[in-house]
């Protein structure tokens, strides 16, 4: 049983974190293995370098997805701290809406890109179709758009609360 006041991560959050940890672990093992093979045997399999590059890309996207889940994405808090509560609530709602829209557009464009790659039929390392390696683009952007969009209702409620309190004495 959870302690009162503790937050238990969702199944999706645990899955994301697990995949992220697995990817970083594989990336470290692949990189370490590449160094050993190169230095001890003067051998570098052709597939190791592209695998490492794709693991870095996937890890970066999954890290960004985790950051949006935790509300730890890049944002300029200095300006927010200077704003009064009503201005802060409005700025957070506006930035959330812009972020959701931007991620939604990027997901749409990335989906088109991956669909074109699939139709083109290009093959990457180890005979993997390149579209499989790039599916992380639309998937993460779509999930980030959903996360930002799901935060809009609470931000709008906070703005409404601040709006009604604006005339109250401090």
What is the reported pLDDT for 1? 45
Contact 8, 26 (CB under 8 A): no
Q: Is residue 31 classed as helix, strand or coil in its secondary structure? A: helix
Residue 97 structure tokens? 């809406």
Q: Which residues pair with 129 in a beta bridge?
A: 123
Q: Is residue 85 classed as helix, strand or coil in its secondary structure? A: helix
What is the reported pLDDT for 120? 94
Give the start-to-end residue ranges of the domains of the chain: 1-74, 76-163
Each residue of 37-69: pLDDT tens digit?
999 999 988 899 999 999 999 999 999 999 998
Could you tell me which of 155, 150, 120, 115 has the C-alpha nearest to residue 134?
Answer: 115
Interval 142-149 mean pLDDT:
96
The count of residues in the chain is: 170
What is the reported pLDDT for 41? 92
The model's pTM is 0.84
Interval 62-79 mean pLDDT:
83
What is the reported pLDDT for 6? 60
Could you tell me which of 16, 14, 49, 21 has the C-alpha nearest to residue 35?
Answer: 49
């Amino acid at each position: 049983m959870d302690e009162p006041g503790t937050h238990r991560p969702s199944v999706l959050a645990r899955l994301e974190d697990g995949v992220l940890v697995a990817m970083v672990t594989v990336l470290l093992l692949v990189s370490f293995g590449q160094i050993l093979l190169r230095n001890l045997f003067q051998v570098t399999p052709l597939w190791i370098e592209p695998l490492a590059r794709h693991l870095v890309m996937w890890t970066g996207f999954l890290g960004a997805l985790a950051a949006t889940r935790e509300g730890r994405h890049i944002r300029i808090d200095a300006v927010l701290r200077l704003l009064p509560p009503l201005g802060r609530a409005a700025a957070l709602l506006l930035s959330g809406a812009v972020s959701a829209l931007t991620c939604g557009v990027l997901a749409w464009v990335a989906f088109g890109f991956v669909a074109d790659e699939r139709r083109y039929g290009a093959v990457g390392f180890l005979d993997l179709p390149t579209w499989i390696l790039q599916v992380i683009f639309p998937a993460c952007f779509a999930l980030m758009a959903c996360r930002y969009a799901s935060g809009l209702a609470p931000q709008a409620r906070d703005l409404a609360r601040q709006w009604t309190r604006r005339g109250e004495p401090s």
